[in-house]
Structure 1
Amino acid sequence: METLGSRLKKVRERKGWTQKEAVKRFGITNYQLSRYESDFSNPDPDLIAKFAEEYEVTTDFLITGKEEKKYPSWGDEAEFEAWVNDPTVNKFYKEFNESPEERKKALLAVWEILKTQGK
């Protein structure tokens, strides 16, 4: 049976992070992370929320194991595949994902403005 600890370890590894990298991001000790991932102790709710945000999963997934819906509902799977594999989309996503948080916020604000133009 999967546990909170095993899910924490799984999503950390899915991100490609070592425990050392994770503890720096979360401001906890290696000992604490090791105890969380081995189910010897549980993180507080605020830390679970931080784990979920950084690991890009839901708190529900971490706590219960309930899989979140990964993609919006697309009418046509081929259309979705084409969108995902578009080099421009991949380039934008990679650059966006590697941007500092302030730049991400600015880009999202610009996107909101652009969406309203022409309505």
Structure 2
Amino acid sequence: MSTLGERIKQLRLEHGMTQEEFGKIFGVTKYSVSLYESNKTSPSDEIKKKIAEYFNVSMDWLMGLTDVRKPFIPENYKEKYRITKRDMLQYENFIKHVNTFFMDDKVAEEDKEKLFRDISELFWKAKEINKEKYGRKKKREKTD
């Protein structure tokens, strides 16, 4: 898996930014961006969070802990249930285990994303069945 510096560089290049442009967005110098990308130093937790939010990726992906850019939670599940911290911890643990299947394989990024999306959908469907079966349903209140 990639390092934090490699992920930062990847995001910057995908969005056609120079190190200077990237630095201006996050309030750091071009030199700092260069140090981040070469893994000579790491951005503060606050800057990492801003980078993840700006580029719509998970912190785990940014840190190189997973190959899934953003957790997939089906809209119908989010509408029906409140996503708890426990749910997210279980999901992240599940995805980390799934990710080990790809460690040695060369799978195209697009295929990997589709597969993770399908596997994620199965995970949340299993959570839904479990909540329905055991009465742990916590309906979200709609705020329209």
Interval of TM-score (by shorter of Structure 1 and Structure 2) = 0.5 to 0.7
RMSD: 2.4
TM-score by length of 2: 0.47
Aligned-pair CA distance for 1:73:
3.9
Q: Which letter does structure 1 place at the counterpart of 2:23?
A: V
Aligned-pair CA distance for 1:68:
3.4
Structure holding more helix per residue: 1
Q: How many residues align?
A: 78
Aligned to 2:45: 45
CA contact (8 A) 1:7 1:65 kept: no
| Residues in 2 aligned to 1:43 and 1:58: alpha-carbon distance in whole angstroms | 16
| Residues in 1 aligned to 2:48 and 2:19: alpha-carbon distance in whole angstroms | 16
| Residues in 2 aligned to 1:25 and 1:69: alpha-carbon distance in whole angstroms | 21
Q: Which letter does structure 2 place at the counterpart of 1:16?
A: G
TM-score by length of 1: 0.56
Identify if the C-alpha distance between structure 1 residues 40 and 64 changes in structure 2 by more than 3 Å, giving closer, same or farther.
same
Matches within 5 A, 1:1-119: 1-66=1-66, 67-69=68-70, 73=74, 116=144
Secondary structure in 2 matching 1:64: coil
Deviations 1:20-71 (A, max 9, x none): 2111111111111000011001111111001111122111111134113466
| Residues in 2 aligned to 1:49 and 1:34: alpha-carbon distance in whole angstroms | 18
Aligned-pair CA distance for 1:17:
1.3
Q: Which letter does structure 2 place at the counterpart of 1:40?
A: K
Aligned-pair CA distance for 1:72:
5.3
Unaligned stretches of 5+ residues in structure 1: 75-114
Unaligned stretches of 5+ residues in structure 2: 76-142
Identify if the C-alpha distance between structure 1 residues 14 and 71 changes in structure 2 by more than 3 Å, giving closer, same or farther.
farther
